[in-house]
Chains A and B, each alone.
Chain A
């Protein structure tokens, strides 16, 4: 591992050395100007990585924020004679304010709805810039924007300007890197890869998206201010769509989530037209071709390719023999097992009634079994309790709290967690990190705290806590294995361990025994019994009667969205309607 890391480190050192040497080799004033612009675009792309890379949202506002920053910086200098420092502050604040305003209607939209909505906003800003001629100079723009002056000294030029801009790029890259290398970065990865998993462990995915959006706006504003003070003209060109496309291309070509990707992408694509000057008018076509090829051939960009090549992504082999030494420990977090009371909830999808007036009482500390044929509404019920679906009426009470008023991540924070029928783990993350992110909500990990948590203490602490849970769950031996390489049965265990790491008071398990061998089922049943004794209420949805009957103290049977009966396992087994639901009416008639 040390050797591999040093391989990556050597590559990074080489790249940084190359960047420092570049302006001394290519030192004509034209080359220096192109190099400076590359630094400015690197800042903008670093910003774009927050929203596009980390939050995984295709925002098409990065060009607009950049242009807005440029206009603010240019016009305040021209109209009021503001200094560079003053214009920068406003050029950052302006786009951030705009991001706050437009976040309300657009941020919750899914993928392409979001992309198109943000695109339209950009077109409106462009129109305003062109039409507001007295101030902005209309389509021709306004010349004479002063250069970057610091502390009353004359404006920076040539290599000093390049050094200043790249110095800011380095700081911006450092902040971006630091903010994402801890627990917050892992939370972003979960929210991006699997939003349901993120919500189930209390991660507020909308808040993460919001923060990413604001940071991308701030970086764009900064880049815009640097840009207008470098090119010394303000024109609507900065708001046009091709700036957005350029930044998108840089992020895709370089890599979406790695700071090096932004720098490499910006450096290459700003220099590309210079290198391919022979292409002349065709270079914009080449731009499109590069973007298309990058997204098809190297979806993780050049950095992704380098990482693959360096073998950092090679999966560690899972240990051959599973080490099963579960330890039972009384819970120490002071949470009590919770009671759940479902009152008259109904849920319809279009014309299909998935749940119809369902009421259930589940006392604290009980293992409650929920059975019913496929499509009877069991999973829908779990989705309603965990807040993924909003039932059309009724109440869901956890103790004396109405869960229907809470958003999914808040429900998880209240101590209600779940596992999924179709396993929602992050395959590219290790077992330990998959469990550690469940501590995100509990450790009060915060974007700004992670900024100055330079030793990533919080991530270390969460990993320690995750390790304890893994030991209790008997899968500590797998801690460093990526989840994608695990067997099905072990994945199930990891998912339960992740739920346990949240220290819940109520756990909803959706078909936990599905796909397990009979030995694994016995082990799981013992474990769930222990978890209950530790102080937890369990609701288990299951088809496997042999597994559930000895485990549950009470059970209910759902059919076509209606609770047909409720009682002890023995009562259910003898109930004619349960038999009919499971074996089909024909069997009863016959």
Chain B
């Protein structure tokens, strides 16, 4: 049981981490928040469903389609919602990406309908017997694919020339431009990569948890909570935050079972250990973190230059 919960949490956390990476990459590159980042998860899920409806194939084969389509979506979204506003206060970009999210969400709603849909599993729906417990292949596959994507992301940023240019742009755009880096292209590319990572999370999540057009808001809050816990602007922090959020979400409703309360499952325990109560507690925890330690659990306090 505990192993099953741990694997489920890891799978969910890995998907959240991809989403949170997308969020952090854009914050670092532009110091603006892309509110539509949650909708990118949703869009990725629907790209997978759309492709699979034309040519049925397992989820793992859909991944390249999702990545490419989402890079395009990301580039386009930077063109309509970021570049026209890049010299305005960051709040303008926040508003424009809210608009972008509305457009994405309702376009999908018109095309595919409001009902939740499921994407194909990565390899199959089977279960794996492991020491008495049975474990969903999908969970393991999700963890594996997410790990590969995270590794790929790390390799791109740490080991390639384009990654260095991306990091230079994020650190100091003016300086990067002075050194001959085309900062605007790098920022557009960052939007593309961020959308691709979040879209991949959509593919990974849309089998177990389904996907519906209005999911974006929920996901952007998850990304925000992960990043708040982990420390703004840190990729490692975001990943740790995402894992903590997922662990809490998966494990919290299972607490009565884990501590052996199954038989005496009363109305009270049902309410106390419901998904809703869990979400509320998680959010209260975030508010407390913001109040006590605004730089995040793993973050370092940065003072603003005057």
Chain A residues packing against B (C-beta within 8 Å): 56, 58, 102, 104-106, 108-109, 111-113, 115-117, 119-121, 123-124, 127-128, 130-131, 196, 241-242, 245, 248-249, 252, 281-282, 284-285, 287-289, 291-292, 295-296, 299, 349-350, 379, 383, 388-390
Docked pose: A104 CA to B294 CA in angstroms:
12
Contact partners of A56 in chain B: CB under 8 A: 91
Docked pose: A106 CA to B284 CA in angstroms:
12
Q: Are B84 and A116 in contact (CB under 8 A)?
A: no
Q: Are A58 and B91 in contact (CB under 8 A)?
A: yes
Contact partners of A389 in chain B: CB under 8 A: 303, 306
Q: A108, A296, A349: which contacts B85 (Cβ < 8 A)?
A: A296
A to B CB contacts below 8 Å, 27 in the list: A105-B291, A106-B287, A108-B294, A113-B228, A113-B294, A115-B91, A117-B286, A119-B220, A119-B224, A120-B224, A121-B283, A123-B217, A124-B280, A124-B283, A124-B284, A127-B279, A128-B276, A252-B95, A282-B106, A282-B110, A285-B102, A288-B103, A288-B106, A295-B95, A296-B96, A299-B92, A350-B300
| Secondary structure call for the B interface | helix
Contact partners of A289 in chain B: CB under 8 A: 99, 103
Q: Are A285 and B106 in contact (CB under 8 A)?
A: yes
Q: Are A284 and B306 in contact (CB under 8 A)?
A: no
B89 close to chain A: CB less than 8 A: yes
Most buried by B among A115, A119, A120, A291: A120
Docked pose: A102 CA to B306 CA in angstroms:
28
Q: Are B294 and A288 in contact (CB under 8 A)?
A: no
**Segment 289-306 of B: residues with Cβ below 8 Å from A:** 290-291, 294, 300, 302-303, 305-306
B99 to chain A, nearest CB (A): 4
Which residue on chain B has the smallest CB distance to residue A121? B283
A288 to chain B, nearest CB (A): 3
B100 close to chain A: CB less than 8 A: yes
Closest 10 A/B residue pairs (Cβ): A288-B102, A288-B103, A292-B99, A105-B291, A291-B99, A112-B33, A284-B106, A116-B224, A388-B306, A285-B106
Chain B residues packing against A (C-beta within 8 Å): 32-33, 80-81, 84-85, 88-92, 94-96, 98-103, 106-107, 109-110, 217-218, 220-221, 224-225, 228, 232, 274, 276, 279-280, 283-284, 286-288, 290-291, 294, 300, 302-303, 305-306
Q: Are B287 and A102 in contact (CB under 8 A)?
A: yes
Contact partners of B283 in chain A: CB under 8 A: 120-121, 123-124
Which residue on chain B has the smallest CB distance to residue A117? B290
Which residue on chain A has the smallest CB distance to residue B106? A284
Q: A121-B283, A282-B110, A389-B303 in contact; A245/B98 too (CB < 8 A)?
A: yes
Which residue on chain A has the smallest CB distance to residue B294? A109
Contact partners of B221 in chain A: CB under 8 A: 116, 119-120, 123
A250 to chain B, nearest CB (A): 12
Most buried by B among A106, A124, A252, A299: A124
Q: A124-B283, A285-B103 in contact; A296/B84 too (CB < 8 A)?
A: yes
Which residue on chain A has the smallest CB distance to residue B218? A123
Q: Are A349 and B225 in contact (CB under 8 A)?
A: no
Q: A112, A245, A295, A388: which contacts B96 (Cβ < 8 A)?
A: A295
Contact partners of A115 in chain B: CB under 8 A: 33, 91, 94
Contact partners of A108 in chain B: CB under 8 A: 294
Q: Are A295 and B288 in contact (CB under 8 A)?
A: no
A352 to chain B, nearest CB (A): 11
A349 to chain B, nearest CB (A): 6
Q: Are B287 and A291 in contact (CB under 8 A)?
A: no
B188 to chain A, nearest CB (A): 17
Docked pose: A390 CA to B33 CA in angstroms:
28
Q: Are B287 and A287 in contact (CB under 8 A)?
A: no
Contact partners of B294 in chain A: CB under 8 A: 108-109, 113
Contact partners of A111 in chain B: CB under 8 A: 89-91, 94
Contact partners of B81 in chain A: CB under 8 A: 292
Docked pose: A196 CA to B305 CA in angstroms:
11
Q: A282, A292, A379, A388: which contacts B100 (Cβ < 8 A)?
A: A292
Q: Are B290 and A105 in contact (CB under 8 A)?
A: yes
Docked pose: A109 CA to B90 CA in angstroms:
14
B29 to chain A, nearest CB (A): 14
Contact partners of B218 in chain A: CB under 8 A: 123
Q: Are B99 and A295 in contact (CB under 8 A)?
A: yes
Contact partners of B95 in chain A: CB under 8 A: 58, 248, 252, 291, 295
Q: Are A292 and B80 in contact (CB under 8 A)?
A: yes
Q: Are B98 and A248 in contact (CB under 8 A)?
A: yes
Q: Are A349 and B303 in contact (CB under 8 A)?
A: yes
Contact partners of A349 in chain B: CB under 8 A: 303, 305
Most buried by B among A116, A124, A281, A284: A116
Most buried by B among A106, A121, A285, A299: A285
A321 to chain B, nearest CB (A): 35
Q: Are B99 and A241 in contact (CB under 8 A)?
A: no
Contact partners of B220 in chain A: CB under 8 A: 116, 119
Q: Are B232 and A281 in contact (CB under 8 A)?
A: no
Contact partners of B279 in chain A: CB under 8 A: 123-124, 127
Q: Other than A108-B294, A121-B287, A131-B274, give 7 A-B pairs with Cβ distance below 8 A.
A: A56-B91, A106-B290, A109-B294, A112-B90, A120-B224, A128-B276, A252-B95
Q: Are B276 and A241 in contact (CB under 8 A)?
A: no
Q: Are B290 and A109 in contact (CB under 8 A)?
A: yes
Which residue on chain A has the smallest CB distance to residue B291? A105
Q: A58-B95, A106-B290, A292-B81 in contact; A120/B225 too (CB < 8 A)?
A: yes
